[in-house]
């Protein structure tokens, strides 16, 4: 009875069950009589009632609210930091690598005459390691490849390693699905020749 009283006693304080996930879990899994480990008379019935009450909650409201609050703070904080970073870059007249890609894509998308001038200078677009492109890079590269006289795109979805930078191998798969007539699978490994 002491274990049950201790667990239930923790709940007596107002609001504890709403904030304490570990306690809620403890109440869902109280010890009951097992062979060789008897509990005092009446304990199992009380423990079962407490466990049923704890299990009746479809999800624990306290930790869920805490998780939402923490997630909101994390996202809001990240947005503020990125906005401050962007403002600092603009004030200093600087751009970073992501800006180069995004702004080049936006420029070519918005200014057809600039896209045509760039394409007039390109004989062939060659893109290697295509499986490691992210959506913004894909938009830029596809805009160039689609308008170029010739394009060669090489990639292997099984070798995608840049997911941590937003690369998405599904873009390569989607391109293959969209243009199956333009896909030529390599049947042998050229790297392994003597």
If one compares 130 and 13, the residue with the highest pLDDT of the two is: 130
CATH superfamily of 97-192: P-loop containing nucleotide triphosphate hydrolases (3.40.50.300)
Neighbours of 44 (CB within 10 A): 16
Q: How far is CA 156 from CA 86, 87, 168, in A?
A: 34, 38, 12
Q: How confident is the model at residue 13 (pLDDT cuts 50, 70, 90)?
A: low
Q: What is the pLDDT of residues 106-147, one digit of tens each?
A: 999 999 999 999 999 999 999 898 888 899 999 999 899 989
Domain limits, the chain: 2-58, 97-192
Neighbours of 167 (CB within 10 A): 21
**pTM, entire model:** 0.57
Q: What is the pLDDT of residues 63-89, one digit of tens each?
A: 677 788 899 999 999 999 999 999 999
If one compares 19 and 45, the residue with the highest pLDDT of the two is: 45
């Amino acid at each position: 009875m002491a274990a049950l009283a201790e667990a239930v006693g923790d709940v007596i304080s107002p609001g504890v069950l709403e904030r304490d996930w570990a306690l809620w879990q403890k109440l869902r899994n109280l010890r009951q009589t097992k062979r060789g480990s008897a509990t005092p008379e009446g304990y199992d019935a009380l423990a079962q009632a407490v466990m049923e009450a704890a299990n009746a909650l479809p999800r624990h409201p306290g930790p869920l609210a805490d998780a939402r609050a923490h997630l909101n703070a994390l996202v809001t904080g990240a947005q503020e930091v990125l906005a401050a970073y962007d403002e600092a870059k603009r004030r200093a007249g600087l751009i970073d690598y992501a800006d180069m890609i995004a702004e080049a894509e936006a420029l070519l998308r918005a200014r057809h005459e600039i896209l045509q001038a760039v394409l007039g200078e390109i004989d062939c677009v060659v893109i290697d390691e295509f499986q490691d492109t992210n959506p913004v890079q894909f938009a830029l590269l596809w805009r160039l490849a689609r308008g170029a006289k010739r394009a060669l795109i090489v990639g292997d979805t099984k070798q995608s390693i840049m997911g941590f930078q937003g690369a998405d191998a599904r873009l390569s798969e989607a391109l293959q699905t969209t243009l199956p007539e333009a896909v030529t699978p390599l049947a042998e490994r050229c790297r392994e020749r003597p």
